[in-house]
Homo-oligomer: A and B are copies of this chain.
Amino acid sequence: MTDFPRPILTVDIVVLAFDGTALHLGTLTRDQAPFKGLPALPGGYVHTDTDQSTEAAARRVLADKTGLADIFCQQLATFSGPTRDPRGWSASVAYYALIPADAFPALRAQARLDWTAPDALPPLAFDHRQIVEAALLRIRAQARYSSLPAWLLGETFTLAELRQCYELLLGEPLNDSAFRRKMGDLDFLTPVTGAKSKSTARPAQLYLQKTRSLALFDRTL
């Protein structure tokens, strides 16, 4: 079989975090060509000598840039073409990763990543804007029928926090009592002893997710 010049294979990760109010996208400023000086998604070459898969490569990059392991991280899609990277024909397997809220403040203080609003992006290197937009579409779609938003929260959280996170991703307010009913029916949360006082009000019950994987709902929202 004829051989063709082998393409560049990289991974890029759309790192998202929730601070209780808004989403934040983790970026790095490129310190070398191409696109030197522009913000870019964290990513890098797949190390064919050590990486067992592109997902392993993504997790390696993620651990390298955030110090976090065991993060929610799923494959988004592969972006490819002769011109997206000026160095040659390239394919980038894009992943999206969700930072748990209880790890975000420390991560932000470290400042190894810059954090920008994903809805008002500055120009990004490569085709990274397109990748971010695809990730947001996917994440918003998944928020409709899965426990995905819970992965942006800490280990334990209140129903109000969970609802706010859903509302942010879905872009619409949710009916509180219907939301509680559904979360009860869907049976993916366990109440945990302890409560969270916000201020001068009744403290809220804390919950954690029953499984360490994404729960898919059979009905929507």
Contacts and interface: CB of A to CB of B under 8 A. Distances in A.
A47 interface: yes
Interface stretch (A2-10, A65-73, A111-119, A155-163): A2-10
A185 interface: no
Contact of A4 (B45, B91, B220): B45
Interface in A29-54: 32, 45-49, 52-54
Contact of A78 (B82, B89, B93): B93
A54 B78 CA distance: 8
Contact of A48 (B1, B4, B54, B77): B4
Nearest to A55: B80
Interface residues of A, number: 31
Determine the main DSSP class of A at the interface with B.
loop
* Assembly stoichiometry (copies): 2
A75 interface: yes
A67 to B, nearest CB: 22
B49 A5 contact: yes
A219 interface: yes
Interface in A118-161: 145
Interface string A203-221: 0000000000000000110
A82 B45 contact: no
B89 A48 contact: yes
Given A91-B91, A220-B219, A4 B80 contact: no
A52 B82 CA distance: 6
A78 B4 CA distance: 19
A81 interface: yes
A100 to B, nearest CB: 25
A213 to B, nearest CB: 14
Interface of A: 1, 3-9, 32, 45-49, 52-55, 75, 77-78, 80-82, 88-89, 91, 93, 145, 219-220
